[in-house]
């Protein structure tokens, strides 16, 4: 008779989850499931609220990436107004998005994953923290703290506070950037570029020691998806959807984010509150795809900032066609930090960013609006429908972490089959299975909105465990 | 170097949890200048170790469930004595931040205090309960006295309010 190995909770991720590994009669791992056991329900309880509240309501989904929800929501509201956002406001929103990516990536790499990368997957769990990182590489620990602090400071400078800022509004932003604040941000950029660059060099020097993990951490062919600009660069704030395959070939291009129901399906499974999006033309689960840093670096044709472009060329040379190992999310994340800092500098050096015309006003012009942007973890889509009074009648959120759900589940199976020996479990084995999830950097508090879709199984048990009643609702 | 760093932690949507933020606003008005830096935050995060490494005096302000509503408690604090393996984005506290400042930047403020105010309610609200609101002047005096050189021993309760 087979047995079940449970990793509960999965540590050093954003949110709460567990992993179960099913062992067959021969002691081999037969299946693996990533269970996200929390539920948020924002899609449901926003119904009836006025649309202009959405940016501030929706950003409460998350304390790590509120800015991403703020921007995607504000963009969906822009679409409801059919308003043209002033150029300065557009640039300010872009800078805010870049700052968000910097701080979130710094959190993921330095705080959550670098203990594994620096100390090794088999290190004592007591040491797998920022103090352990400091003991092994003080510069790296300080650099991580400084980068995250910088990203958060930029958010606070622009938007008033670090978490849940009320700044992006339908039609623009509610306050321009002052010359003093612009110069303060610019003055920190050389130091940030240096930290990002040095961390990249450190990572590249050490990545070869993870050859086995590279080969087995969700390393398989899938599609990749993300926003790209008309000339093939990464479209962090806007752009059209592109899908590429494992050979690096474009599968679909120039897809409007607003048309996502035509190419994205959403499946549900009974073991988790997280939905499973898939590429509709290939069906479920064959339409598996990945988003986020690795996907973005796989789908673009080029980058426009010099240092990131150089690093991207080197990165793409790792493997012919597309980079398939999800271990390289870490590498891609570091290159993105570098890019975001360089790109932020470009925006801030544009005099137009200091314009005081930062908001356009309009009445409700559309009863349906979609907003999409690249969040740190991938493409984020907010979709709202309103009544004639502007009250939300329906909302759908496709969260970056959701897109990767199929790949995460398949990835833990691949790693577990390679590393886990059911007859003798070790901490290092299980940590590797968790580390697959960490590579994707899922944000689970963002991504659990599968209201009304999940098959429900409720058991009422007496204190002695005796089953008193049971309700089973199929999906 | 900043002479004094005041770090106030709280959630403005959770009633009395925001008492430190109210104090911070008043302290900012009172001490506008580079000598006293007032910083507000919704949670204790590792990044705060960096500014801590640049000050002589650190004062942490927070609401507390531990004390009765309006009760003001002040204690001197030292770096966390354990290994600090619990430090994460969701789990941090002033003593861990001092440890982090000491380890990463090889600097500790010469003096560090934690001033907490007993809360009545952490329910959803933009305003403080009247009991906690009434405690603010005395909490302010306490911070002023620390800035003026007063000191408090560690882990000894100091009932600074009448409540």
Give chain B positions within 8 Å (CB) of A125: 85
Bigger pLDDT: B88 vs A220: A220
Q: What is the mean pLDDT of residues A52-64?
A: 91
Q: How many degrees, rounded to 5, is the angle at CA B134 between CA B130 and CA B137?
A: 155
Q: Which two tokens stand for residue A80?
A: 């409801």
Mean pLDDT lowest among A32-36, A467-471, B18-22, B96-100? A467-471
d(CA B59, CA B38): 9
DSSP track, A97-149: HHHHHHHHHHIIIIIIIHHHHHH-TTS-GGG-SHHHHHHH-HHHHHHHHHHHH
pLDDT given for residue A471 in this prediction: 55
Nearest residue of chain B to residue A151 (CA atoms): B47
Using the predicted structure, report yes or no on whether residue A448 has a pLDDT greater than 50.
yes
Chain centroid offset of residue A16 CA = 16
The encoded tokens of residue A198 equal 């040095």
Query: Measured between CB atoms, which of A64, A131, A149 is closest to B47?
Result: A149
Which pLDDT score is estimated for A65?
86
Question: A272-297, pLDDT tens digit by residue?
Answer: 888 899 999 999 999 999 999 999 99
Report the pLDDT value the prediction gives residue A258, as an integer from 0 to 100: 97
pLDDT at A130: 82
**B89/A138 touch (CB, cutoff 8 Å), yes or no:** no
Tell me what percent of the residues of chain A surpass a pLDDT of 70: 91
Which residue in A has a C-alpha nearest to residue B105's C-alpha? Answer: A142
3-state secondary structure of A231: coil
Q: In 10 A of CB A124, how many CB atoms?
A: 11
Would you call A145 and B103 a contact, using CB atoms and an 8 Å cutoff? Answer: no
Which positions of chain B have pLDDT values less than 50?
Answer: 156-163
Average confidence (pLDDT) over A39-48: 86
Count the Cβ atoms, other than its own, within 10 Å of residue B133: 15
Residue A431 binned pLDDT confidence (cut-offs 50, 70, 90): confident
- Nearest Cα residue in chain B from A165: B42
Question: Are A88 and A357 a contacting pair, CB within 8 Å?
Answer: yes
User: How many CB pairs below 8 A link A and B?
Assistant: 51
Write down the pLDDT at residue A1: 55
Res. A447: pLDDT tops 50: yes
Contact B88 A142 (CB under 8 A): no
Residues 108-147 in B contacting A (C-alpha not used; CB under 8 Å): none
Q: Which residues of A touch B104 (CB under 8 A)?
A: 134, 138, 141-142, 145
- Rg of chain B on CA atoms, in Å: 15
Does any CB of chain A come closer than 8 Å to the CB of residue B105? yes
Mean pLDDT of A200-220: 95
Nearest residue in B to A108, CA atom: B89
The alpha carbon of residue A127 is apart from the nearest alpha carbon of chain B, in Å, by: 7
- By C-alpha distance, the chain B residue nearest A161 is B41
Residue B163 burial by Cβ neighbours in a 10 Å radius (0-12, 13-18, 19+): middle
Numbered residues of chain A with Cβ closer than 8 Å to any chain B Cβ: 12, 14, 63-64, 107, 111, 125-132, 134, 138, 141-142, 145-146, 148-149, 152, 162-164
Question: pLDDT at position A13, please?
Answer: 62
Q: Which residue of B has its CA nearest to A125?
A: B85
Residue A184, pLDDT above cutoff 70: yes
Optimal mutation site among B104, B105, B106, B107, interface A, most CBs of chain A within 10 A: B104
Residue A53 burial by Cβ neighbours in a 10 Å radius (0-12, 13-18, 19+): middle
Per-residue pLDDT, A456: 45
Query: Does the beta-carbon distance from A127 to B87 stay under 8 Å?
Result: no
Of A111, A132, A138, which is closest to B89 when you measure between CB atoms? Answer: A111
The answer to whether the CB atoms of A134 and B103 lie below 8 A apart is yes
A455 pLDDT higher than 50: no
Tell if the CB–CB gap between A149 and B100 is shorter than 8 Å. Answer: no
Q: Which domains does chain B have, with CATH numbers?
A: 2-147 (3.40.50.1450)
Higher model confidence: residue A90 or residue A271? A90
| pLDDT at A449 > cutoff 70 | no
Mean pLDDT taken over chain A: 90
pLDDT of residue A420: 84
Among A145, A160, A163, the residue to mutate for chain B (most B Cβ within 10 A): A145
CA distance B66 to B70: 11
Give the pLDDT of residue A275.
85
Cβ within 8 Å, pair B49-A145? yes
pLDDT at A271: 82
Looking at the partner chain, which of A12, A126, A141 has a beta carbon nearest the beta carbon of B83?
A126
Domains of chain A: 42-417 (1.10.645.10)
pLDDT at site B162: 37
Is the pLDDT confidence value at A367 over 60?
yes
| Direct distance between the N- and C-terminal alpha carbons of chain B, in angstroms, rounded to an integer | 38
Contacts of A155 in chain B (CB under 8 A): none
Cα separation, A331 vs A311, in Å, equals 10
- For residue A207, give the DSSP letter: G
Summarize the confidence of residues A81-96 as an average pLDDT: 98
pLDDT at res. A280: 97
What is the pLDDT at residue A162?
Answer: 86
Tell me the percentage of chain A whose pLDDT exceeds 90: 67
Phi, psi of A83 (to 5 degrees): -100, 150
Strands A276-279 and A289-290: unpaired
Give the Å distances, CA to CA, from A92 to A68, A82, A161, A407: 14, 20, 15, 34
Residues A316-359 pLDDT 10s: 999 888 999 999 999 999 999 999 999 999 999 999 999 999 99
Nearest by CB to residue B85, choosing from A111, A129, A163, is A129
A145–B46 C-beta distance less than 8 A: yes
């Amino acid at each position: 008779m087979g047995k079940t190995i449970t990793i509960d909770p999965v540590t050093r991720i954003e949110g709460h989850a567990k992993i179960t590994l099913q062992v067959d009669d021969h002691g081999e791992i037969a299946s693996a499931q990533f269970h996200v056991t929390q539920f948020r329900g924002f899609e449901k309880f926003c119904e009836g609220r006025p649309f202009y509240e959405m940016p501030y309501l929706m950003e409460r989904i998350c304390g790590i990436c509120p800015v991403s929800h703020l921007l995607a929501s504000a963009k969906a509201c822009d679409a409801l107004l059919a308003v043209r956002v002033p150029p300065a406001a557009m640039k300010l929103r872009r800078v805010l998005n870049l700052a968000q990516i910097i701080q979130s990536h710094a959190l993921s790499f330095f705080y959550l994953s670098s203990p594994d990368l620096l100390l090794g997957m088999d290190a004592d769990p007591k040491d797998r923290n920022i103090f352990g990182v400091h003991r092994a590489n003080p510069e790296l620990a300080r650099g991580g703290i400084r980068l995250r602090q910088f990203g958060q400071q930029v958010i606070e400078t622009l938007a008033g506070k670090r978490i849940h800022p009320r700044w992006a509004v339908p039609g623009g932003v509610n306050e321009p950037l002052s010359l003093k604040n612009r110069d303060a941000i610019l003055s920190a950029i050389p130091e940030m570029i240096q930290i990002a660059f040095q961390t990249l060099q450190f990572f590249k020097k050490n990545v070869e020691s993870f050859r086995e993990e590279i080969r087995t951490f969700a390393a398989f062919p899938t599609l990749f998806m993300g926003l790209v600009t008309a000339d093939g660069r990464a479209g962090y704030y806007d752009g059209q959807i592109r899908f590429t395959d494992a050979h690096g070939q474009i599968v679909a291009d120039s897809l409007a984010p607003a048309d996502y129901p035509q190419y994205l399906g959403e499946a549900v499974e009974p073991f988790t509150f997280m939905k499973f999006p898939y590429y509709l033309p290939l069906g479920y689960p064959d339409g598996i795809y990945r988003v986020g840093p690795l996907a973005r670096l796989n789908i673009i044709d080029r980058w426009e900032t010099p240092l990131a472009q150089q690093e991207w060329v080197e990165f793409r040379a790792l493997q012919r066609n597309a980079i398939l190992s999800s271990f390289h999310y870490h590498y891609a994340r570091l290159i993105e930090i570098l890019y975001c800092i360089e790109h932020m500098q470009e925006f801030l050096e544009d005099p137009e960013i200091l314009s005081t015309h930062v908001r356009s006003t309009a009445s409700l012009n559309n009863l349906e609006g979609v907003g999409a942007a690249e969040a740190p973890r991938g493409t984020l889509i907010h979709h709202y429908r309103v009544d004639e009074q502007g009250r939300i009648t329906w909302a759908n959120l496709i969260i970056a972490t959701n897109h990767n759900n199929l790949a995460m589940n398949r990835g833990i199976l691949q790693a577990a089959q390679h590393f886990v020996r059911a007859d003798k479990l070790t901490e290092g084995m299980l940590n590797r299975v968790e580390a697959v999830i960490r590579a994707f950097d899922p944000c689970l508090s963002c991504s659990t909105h599968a209201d009304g879709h999940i098959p429900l199984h409720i058991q009422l048990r007496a204190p002695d465990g005796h089953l008193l009643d049971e309700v089973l609702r199929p999906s | 170097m900043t002479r004094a760093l005041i770090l106030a932690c709280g959630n403005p949507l959770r009633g009395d949890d925001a008492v430190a933020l109210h104090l911070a606003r008043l302290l900012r008005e009172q001490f506008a200048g580079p000598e006293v830096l007032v910083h507000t935050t919704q949670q204790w995060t590792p990044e705060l170790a960096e500014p801590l490494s640049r000050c002589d005096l650190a004062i942490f302000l927070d609401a507390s469930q531990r004390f009765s509503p309006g009760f003001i408690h002040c204690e001197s604090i030292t770096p966390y004595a354990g290994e600090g393996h619990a430090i994460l984005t969701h789990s941090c506290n002033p003593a861990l931040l001092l440890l982090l400042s000491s380890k990463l930047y090889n600097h500790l403020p010469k003096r560090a205090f934690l001033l907490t105010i007993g809360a009545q309610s952490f329910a959803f609200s933009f305003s403080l309960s009247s009991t906690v609101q009434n405690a603010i002047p005395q909490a302010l005096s306490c911070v002023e006295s620390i800035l003026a050189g007063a000191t408090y021993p560690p882990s000894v309760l100091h009932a600074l309010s009448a409540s």
